[in-house]
Structure 1
Amino acid sequence: MGKLQCLCFLFFFLTISCNKIGEQAEVPGKPEGDRLPGTDSLVVEQLIEKSFSHYGQGGVHVDINDSYLAEAEDIARKNDNIYQLARIYNLLGQRYRNRADYGEAMKFHQKALEFATVANKQELLASVYNQIGVVYRRIDDNPMALEMHVKALALAEEAGDSLTISSAINSIGNVNYNLGRYLSSIEYFKRSLAMSEAQKNKLGLAINHNNMGESLLKMGQVDSALHHFFTSLDYNYQINSKVGQSICFNSLGGAYIALDRPHKALEYLQKALHLNEELGDLMQVAISHSKIGETYLGMGELQEAEKHLRESLEIAKGIGVLYQIEEGSRLLSELYEEKAEFGKALDFFKTAAVYRDSIINTKNINHLATQEAILESERQREKINQLNQETIRQKSMLDRQRFYLITALIIVVTISFGIFMIVRQMQLKSRYKNVRHQQRLLRSQMNPHFIFNALSAIQVYILEHDIEKSSRFLTDFARLMRQVLRNSTHDYISLKEEVQILKYYLELQRLRFSESFDYGLHIDDSLKIEHVMVPPMLTQPFIENAIEHGIKPIGSEGQIQIHFKNDKNRVVVEVEDNGIGIDASKEASEKERSHESMAIKITRERLDMLRRDSGGRTELSIRDKKQINPFDRGTIVRIVIPLVEIDQHGKTVSRQKNNVLKTESVSV
């Protein structure tokens, strides 16, 4: 099987599957609170249900906007039922998407999004965002697809809509599959599978088992993949989904080809072909012929291979499926090369190359059509805004009568606000002074536990008669204490001094823990360490946490990397370790957590004060690496502060806002 063919087939399956999950979420059975009261609303629900049934039986041979759905839209419009209109437009978008008309699909999804926003129904918004994400997946815009699916997941979780949550998680797994991140995709499929089991949703179970099988097959775990394919097939039999059965047959065919059992593969591929012919889905019929032809080609049965490949190519040309034309031409080129008919082989090779270029152009056109649909939606929204403004102008005469009352209220509110701001300012000044005292206290004291442990370590080295390490430990300890005490009264010290303090501190900790970890200090060449000024002891609490709560539990081979970077007149400090991570370190004692939280709280207040003094932007973020990569471990602390330098007059100047800072003391 060709890679492109396999991916396109799987992609078709995933979009159909997610579409069906979305449709199940919209079938009648919603609580009455989600519908407008009255008979007309119930009639619309019945018409939508009939459209589901009618379209599901006819597939591609049925008009997208059939009579049932058109009547439902008409009634919903007359009753101004924005909830049902949003559902109808979302369904139309899905149907256009499955016909590969992505521009029209995005137009209807955007209309659905507008109505869903007005209806303010989170579960409906989640469904619309999820379907928009599928459109982006179909045009290979995976970053935008992921953004839409994540947004849908957040809304569905907020609304408690378990069916849409499962669908969104499945969709995120699909994006990971498209990006070749098969392990991550399996994790998402497992989560969606567990939810489908809890919901007893057999369609969801069928979809997720097949998805997991495809990911495992890509990873070469064929036996595990077969187990999931057969499980999916069983569920598809239970719900009588012929589309799902056809997909499973093709997946099983691919697995048996991977096991080098082509005759068994042909058995399932032929079943898929018969089902696709029964369903009348010409695109899938073409794909089935291509898969069968490719299998015969691999077996050396060139006559049978040629018959199926030519049939696939003829159907593909008839319906204009470019990627299938390219696939069929490529395989026929290989076939005629095997038959030593090199003229025909070259002709089909050229045809495949032409269609490969056409596929790239088509993708670009699809992107363009999608963006044009979004722009058209924006233009329509702008027209609505202009009409609203015209209405506002027509009511201006009535608004004038309220002017004086509103003015009086504004004056009262302004005076009240002014009094509140004065009181608030006085409170902030008091808090500002209090925070400065807390900072001084924090900077003037090292963690008592560290000092005690350091002295204990020195005692051990002396008792063991390790004169060299005792001397080095005492020397570094004295230098560190001298630096800490000297800089405790300064608001800023040079980056050179800060780095020196960190080196002393890290060397002491390495000696204390028998050199069970290594560290690295990395400084951008663009940062002049003698002139760049930073708040003292800003990173020390986080380095201490990394050692005590991250690296200490793992025992050995610890790594701490500290980076000072220049980012557009900002200094970015990153402290990264490979310890157990913040989540796993939550089992620390209450006293340690109190110390850690107090250090973080005071650091945030220091950054907030620095932001007010400098007028620049500050940030503090602490993330477990597993949040970024499930297979990584450790913690990343990221601190962003304005770039502050000493000018020729000895004053600290923020380069971000180009203003002189008002500080009490500076160490140069």
Structure 2
Amino acid sequence: MKDYCIYIMVCLFLGWNVIYSQSQNNALKFNLKGRVEVRSTGQPISGVSISNDMGVFVVTNALGEFEIKTRIGDQLIIEHQDIETLWYNVEKNDDVLILVEGFESSVSDRSNSPPDISIRHQQLLDSAEHYKAKDIEKSIDFVAQSIALLGKRGRRKEFARSLSKLGEVYQYHKQLDLAIDNYEDALENNKTIATSLLLGRAYNLMSRFNETIGLLDPLSKVKTMPPYQSAVLYELLGDAKKGEGKTKEAIELYNRGLLIAEKNQNTSKMIDLNSKLADSYSMDNQAMEAEAYYGNSLELAVQSAPKRALQEKEKVADFYKTKSRFNEEINMRKSSLQELKRLNAPNVGLKKLELGDTITSQRINYKIANAYISQDKYNEAIPFLEKSIVEADSDDDLVVQKDATRKLSEVYKVKGDFTKALETYQTYVALVDSLYVRKEQEISRASRFNREIANAQNRLTGLEQERELSQSKYDLALTEQELVKESNKRQQLVIYSLIFGLLLTLLAAFFFYRSNQQQKLANNLLALKSLRSQMNPHFIFNALNSVNNFISKSDERSANRYLSDFSKLMRSVLENSEEDFIPLEKELQQLELYIKLEHSRFEDKFDYQITLDETVQVSKFQIPPMLLQPYIENAIWHGLRYREEKGELSVDVKENSEDSIIISITDNGIGRKKSAEIKTQNQKKQKSKGMGIIQKRVAILNDMYTDKVDIKISDLQENGTGTKVLFILKREK
């Protein structure tokens, strides 16, 4: 009991603080008037959203004017789809003029249309809003006029606003299917947060909760959304989650919305979200939390919105009813009756539609009577039932009159007053008959109303089709222009992408090729070095055989002379052993020295001559070292050496073309075929090592230096005797 008293005292203290702070805030609030226009032309801008730190949200009218409740120190957020977001700090209570830069350039598509179309369009939508509750046909007609006004200009944003307004009209009259269709069409033409929120609310009313979440959940990531819209967003998402039975998620979303509303002092949203949090906790059987939030919503509503407070009182009374707290329910509903009486006073002028059909004097009296009946207090219930019947009769509310009459009959029956019970029941039967007739009439009127709505929608559909047909050429031209631009952009993008991709591919190929070439070059250099290392020992081995031959004949002088010439040749060979190419002049000198050495051994077997054509510029040509020697060696050892008569060896250097020469080595020896026949069995097993090395060297060098050397071997005579070797050597360019 002590803890409960402390809890009440804390609540009273917090409530007093809220009341005090609210009264202080109300004292500081004032209505700020202003106007938004283009700086350069003075043209008013309609449809501009103005919001402040309190969460108040207004839109400029056709003249660019607005009026917003605000305070000193608040910051106004000015937003429009065709201008950059602006901020204005409220420093004093004085009319403001907000000038916008660059509005003309952002609406260049309107340059060919009369300057007052936007103003006239907004005026027609304002008229549709004005007649929304009074005359649906007139309201729809104004929307139709706003669509017709757009003509051939293809103004999709204005057209979207017309469709959105039409959706609002249908939603107000509970034609939710039509409302959703128009909201969706509006979003197709121009996506805005405001229309998305309207569509989300309509989805919730149709219990299409998954679609609400799919539509609105991405908007929770928008950072620049005005505070009022953010609060509404979380409220609608919470409604969807609550509709799916996910109360915990709904409570979390409501709390996020409430935090934004409280931060921006948006009282109306604070009331709504506290009330919905209470509903959610009540659904989750958390009575204490539900009662606390109902108390918050009721307290806020009493301070700022008496009409809204009446709705909250009835919700709290319904909550007490579910918890069988009938005395508290009765007291709350009696308080509602007093408040309703005050609001229905002539000087207040409350309209029935502002509170809805459920909050009427006859219904509240009927609910009070039910609460007494639940406690078996029939005598206390009878006056409220009778009053409910009388008020329902005067207000022509047959439903409540019927229910109250039936309930009164049941009470009389329980009390044992069967005469009154019968009379009352007979009245009830008559009311049922009257209500049946009334329902038929209502169904008939509803059918007629639906037909009228359908006709109006058909007129709008026809108008839109006519509009589309009349501007088909214009739209087609614009579309083609946009397609061409888009196609050009895409082509450029594709071209640039292809070029970039090609460059990347070429770069990758270049690096791969260079790496491959470097590796190949390294391999070739390694192979050449290996081949040269094999070539030199082979040559040295053959030369030493010749020296050994002189020594075996005891020809010391010849051996000495041979070794002297051989040392010169070896020095030259070793000097050039690391080079891929040497000057042709050096190679010919080495070749002449080698032939001289071989001739000294086989003087009786052959004579030789080296002929250099005067037209050949030897200094401009280079040749791989030791390239010609193996062929000279073959000519002497396998061709001329086996002749019975003395043979001839010729080396001729001639010009082949401007960039190449021919080096020919000819001998009139026994020929390749006969030489192969007279080889010994041991010689047949051994391949010519020098020739094999030369072939590999030439192949590698040609690969590295692009076919620099070409070698052709043929028989000198038709009978197979003699051999001719042609070297075609190209010059470096």
Same fold (TM over 0.5): no
RCO comparison, higher one (Cα < 8 Å, 6+): 1
TM-score by length of 2: 0.39
Q: Which has the larger radius of gyration?
A: 2
Higher relative helix content: 1
TM-score by length of 1: 0.42
